[in-house]
Amino acid sequence: MFNSLKFKITFTAFLIISVIMILSTWRDIKETERLLLEWHREKAALLSDRIVHSIMVLMTENKWRDMQALMESLVSDRKELKRIRVLRPEDGVIVVSSEPEEAGKAFKPADKILKDGQVTEASTGWQSNMGYLSKLTIIKNRRACHGCHDPQKDVLGILAVDISLDDVTAAVREFKKEHLREAVIGFLLIMGAFTFVVGVLIDRPIRKMIATIRKIENGDLSARMDENKKDEFGLVAKSFNRMLETLESGKKRDRDLSR
């Protein structure tokens, strides 16, 4: 069985198709995950801009004490929002947070965004964490803020918005299951069709040839291979049959000469 041509061709096709489908499935999963993450990043960027604008409005209206309520309401209204904080730019200490108990505590990743007490655009952006993304945005000292803040101060604070990746994780997990299910079904269909085609186009003609050869070995020199096929098997059958006819003619000539 393992030495048969049908097994070798089928097993080789099995390996090739398996590798192609595994690579294709892995690529599709990674691309889907990338697109989902990109979508969440864009949404987080829009949310951050909106929150910064709301903070600026509260500050210009001297309602900065309402920032705590604003953050808590935003987090409760949007399930993808995990946490919102405003950091002090000098040392990264949390000034206001959607979780009030965090106020006054140090922001752990602050050393990644503060360089000698200075904050720059290059040091903010995205921070990857377990299960969520953090969007860090500089709150600049705009002209409208100069009434309460020193105009020489460039940065008033850093907004840290944490976006939950639970939706991304769930979507990717479901996509993996669905894609794996489709890949298995597709693989079985392809292998079934391939095995059928190999059986009809290769295995069956070879078996017929072997059966004819065995008849000849058993003394039936009248047996002939099927020449009706237009492919290589037909050419082999014609050549084999011509060879038999030549051998029969030679044997007949030898018998005639021996009389």
For residue 199, give its domain range.
Answer: 183-258
14/131 same-domain check: yes
DSSP lists the bridge partners of residue 155 as 140
**Cα 153 from chain centroid?**
46
On the question of pLDDT at 122 being above 60, the answer is: no
Q: Is the pLDDT of residue 185 over 80?
A: yes
Give Cα 211 to chain centroid, integer Å: 50
Boundary (domain end) residue, out of 139, 171, 203: 171
Structural domain ending residue among the three candidates 103, 138, 171: 171
pLDDT for 211 beyond 50: yes
What average pLDDT does range 72-99 have in this prediction?
Answer: 81
Q: Is residue 20 part of a domain?
A: yes
Residues 164 and 50 both lie in one domain: yes
Residue 111: is its pLDDT beyond 60?
no
Average pLDDT over residues 157-178: 81
- Do residues 147 and 232 both lie within one domain? no
DSSP string, 21-78: HHHHHHHHHHHHHHHHHHHHHHHHHHHHHHHHHHHHHHHHTT-GGGHHHHHHHHHHH-
